[in-house]
Every structure is written in C-alpha cells, then in structure tokens.
Structure 1
C-alpha cells in the first residue's frame, strides 16, 4: 500500500487509510482501555520470569500503545515491568512513517515499547520484520495482538480478500487477538466523506461482499478458518464498537 500524500496528511478527514494525524484527540485511549481488564496479562497466560510480547497493529502516533502499557502495569505506570515480576514489551506498527516518527519521539518507555513503520498487508515485510523482532526474545509468537479500528481500512483498500488475508496473518502470529471492528455504517461514512471532499471513492467499496454485519462475518471467519475462539466481549466503546478477545486453538502454541 502506498503511503499518504502531503495533502492527505493536511486533511485528516480524508485520510484514506485511517491515518488521521490527530486521531487520539477525538478518540482518546480511555475509550477502549476502560473496557480492557487490568489483569489482561493473566488472561493471556503471562508467567513470572517470562517476557510477554504485544503487537499493536495500526498504532497511529502511539498514544494508545503507551496507554495500554501503563494500563497493564497499573494506574501510575511508574515501574518498568508489569505486575508479579513479569516483563512486558510492546511493538507498535503503522503504515504511516510520519506517525511512527511522532510515536517514537514521544515514547516514554523506549526500553519496553518500540515503534516501526509497517504495512500489515505487506506479507513479505511482515514476515521479515515481525520475525526479526520475535527472534530478539527467542519467541515465535506474540502473546497478544491488538487490532483496533483497523479492519475497515484494510477492507476498503484491499477488498474482501485483503481483509481475510490480514485476519489469517494475525491469527498465526499471536496466541490472543484483541479486535475492534468498525460496523458497516462507518464504511458508508468514510465513503461519503471522500465523495464530499471530491476525492476518488475507495476502489473496492462497491464490490465488497462482506457487508452489513461485518463483525459477525469476521468472527465466523476467525472461528471457522483461523482456528480461533471468542473468549470475551469486553463491551462496547462510546463509538458503539465491541472489543472482542479471541484465543488461538492451534495445537502448537509454543512461544
């Protein structure tokens, strides 16, 4: 996927990949984190003396990644490791290199949080970059992957096939997946916004077969094709989107 133009950065309302330059000013991290249990590390099986690895897909400028780290540590975020003597490392990725630069520049925990420019739909790049990151910890999987309000943008820009490929890719890279899916009305709003601004419509919008109950279709795909099971729905955000936690059912769950 090509990166955004300067005009797109200057006009965040028309950001065709969801790379809004001030995203967290209108959807602050607490909109999601108030729903996420503070003991989520225990839920994903974190153990004393082991490094827990989290991948945040579509991290934008990093505020939510940092807030998630603090949330899993405790309210003050003062220590450099999570509860019960565990070690937590987060990797945030986004296709917009300018947003990644902002995230890196303002990162208060550079020893534990890393930010890298990466298009999650670029499979060769993902294989190389994510495998390299995991190898630093002698692990083969992320314990948790968060993919929050990303699915629609992949869907609109890469079609049904691109969306399903991304879901499959994430499912084989993590033991747990925390997912927030935009409903169909968000697709319609995004398309209207582009048309109103005189921009070209999303290439795949009119031909999408996965529409209507997008969340339901994604859940069905993850369960039927990706060997994942839904463990929890943590409730709905103020934007009426559910936070869903899936667990891999693959027989090989070794880190």
Structure 2
C-alpha cells in the first residue's frame, strides 16, 4: 500500500470518520452510508458508555405496552442490535434475558437507513427479527417518513417512540440539507419521542468529509460553505433542542475514543 494511502487512512480515522480505500471509495458515501462503518466505530464502545443507566431511565417510563425505539441511520444494523441487547438486559451472546427483570417490557425497534444495500445486510443478519424491523427510508422525506412511522405506531396502538437514537447522523443531515434541514430534523425527532439520544459529529469531521470530496475531484457538499451553525456542534445541537425542540439535556454519557459526546435529551412535548 502506498504511503500516501496509509497517511490518508490514519488521518481520517483520527478525525472520527472511516476511510475506505480501493473500491470502497469514501467519497461514494455522501450520506455517511459507509459499507464497513462498524470496523471503525464498534458498537461495544458506545454501549459501554451508555451502560445500564440508559436502560434504567427508559424502563422507568412506566408504560403498559412495549418500549418503542427508532434508530435513524442504522447502517448495517450492528449498533441497532447492540442497543436492543442493552435495553433487554442481554449479554452479547444471549438470545434471551439472563435474569428475571422487574420490568421486562417487550422492546421493538424500527431502524432505518437511506441505503437499501446496507438495510438488506441488516435484514439478513438480524438475530431478533420479531423485535427489530429494518426499513429503507429517507428520514428527510416528510411523506415517506409519516407513512412508515405511522404504520409502525399502528402495530402497537401508540403515537410516539419512547426513545430515538441519532448516532453520528447529524453531520450528514446538516451537510446535505443545510442549517434549516438540521433544525427541522432535530425538532421533528424531539417531537416524536420521550427521550432522544444524540451523538453529534464535531466540526473537524465536517472539514474531513468536505476534504475527501475535494481530493476525489467531486463537487463539495451543497451547503458546506453556507452553514452558519458551526463550531462546537455539541453545544449548537444542544441549544437547538433546548430552545426550539422544547427538550432538556438530562445526561451526558461522555466521549467515545473517536471524540464524540453522547447526549440524552428528554422531550417536554409529550
């Protein structure tokens, strides 16, 4: 492997986004739909940060029906499965709970991604097909979003999610739909759930994503140079959710090794 390729791999990995070489060109993933994303960002590290605290907060919502969750930008489903195991109190190798839980509510996750190939991989490897549903969906398409979410709610006689997971998706929404798209996305997500878990990408990841496109001789993201929501993205996203999403920040789970803070918000809309 040429030295320049090695340098690019190590640089981009250090900045927190996977670098895929040869046929798996990083510029071919303008929505963050990297085909081997979890080689670089293993689900185990995120789940260890969340630990049992997330589960206890969600299970304390005292619902009579199942706990419903939405995973936006699920990629090939590895993290979705890890989150399901966490909520159910399962070890990595278990298919049933390891102990009798005081509130062993059923958990059902709806997991969506814009990439049909990744969704198909998730479907084929799904160890919990009765509890985890994968769908190809552009979450920024209001019509398609409404139809699919309503269909899921109708299955359980509910009108909202207990939790929505937005794990390293905000940058891709922002780059592809601009400032207004990011605000609309966050406000909608806050309106659709009791709890919202967000892992924002720092601004250095925006620069790295734009630089990759330039190196490939491709057009830059349409909105990159016109964005006014910049800088400390954890703070900016928190401000949007508090001031416009009618939510409160109730917990920070700390940073991953790729330098991203995982934040838990409680919506005051429901």
Counterparts of 1:229-244 in structure 2, within 5 Å, are 229-244=248-263
Query: Which residue is equivalent to 2:145?
Result: 126
Q: Secondary structure at the match of 2:50?
A: coil
Distance 1:160 1:35, change over 3 A: same
Q: Secondary structure at the match of 1:68?
A: helix
RMSD of aligned alpha carbons? 1.9
Cα deviations by residue, 1:172-192 (Å, 9 ceiling, x for unpaired): 111100000001000000011
Distance 1:140 1:199, change over 3 A: same
- 1:174 and 2:193 correspond: yes
Picking from 236, 240, 245, the partner of 1:221 is: 240
Q: Secondary structure at the match of 1:54?
A: strand
Give the conservation status (yes or no) of the 8 Å contact 2:55–2:86. no
Whole-angstrom CA distance in 2 between matches of 1:215 and 1:12: 28
- By how many angstroms is 1:47 displaced? 3.5
Query: Which residue is equivalent to 1:85?
Result: 104
Picking from 224, 242, 264, the partner of 1:205 is: 224
Whole-angstrom CA distance in 2 between matches of 1:201 and 1:62: 28
Picking from 33, 43, 66, the partner of 1:51 is: 66
Query: Which residue is equivalent to 1:5?
Result: none
Give the conservation status (yes or no) of the 8 Å contact 1:58–1:95. yes
Cα deviations by residue, 1:74-128 (Å, 9 ceiling, x for unpaired): 3243217994321111111000011100100110100000000011111111111
Query: Which residue is equivalent to 2:183?
Result: 164
Whole-angstrom CA distance in 1 between matches of 2:200 and 2:88: 26
Query: Which residue is equivalent to 1:186?
Result: 205
- If the length of structure 2 is used for normalisation, what is the TM-score? 0.86
Cα deviations by residue, 1:196-225 (Å, 9 ceiling, x for unpaired): 111211111000000111221111111011
Cα deviations by residue, 1:2-55 (Å, 9 ceiling, x for unpaired): xxxxxx994341111100001011111012111012242330234375300010
Distance 1:244 1:9, change over 3 A: farther
- If the length of structure 1 is used for normalisation, what is the TM-score? 0.91
- 1:62 and 2:77 correspond: yes
Report which of the two structures shows the higher radius of gyration computed on alpha carbons. 2
- 1:196 and 2:215 correspond: yes
Whole-angstrom CA distance in 1 between matches of 2:210 and 2:52: 36
- How many residue pairs match? The answer is 244
Unaligned runs of 5+ in 2: 1-20
Whole-angstrom CA distance in 2 between matches of 1:86 and 1:13: 40
- By how many angstroms is 1:141 displaced? 0.5
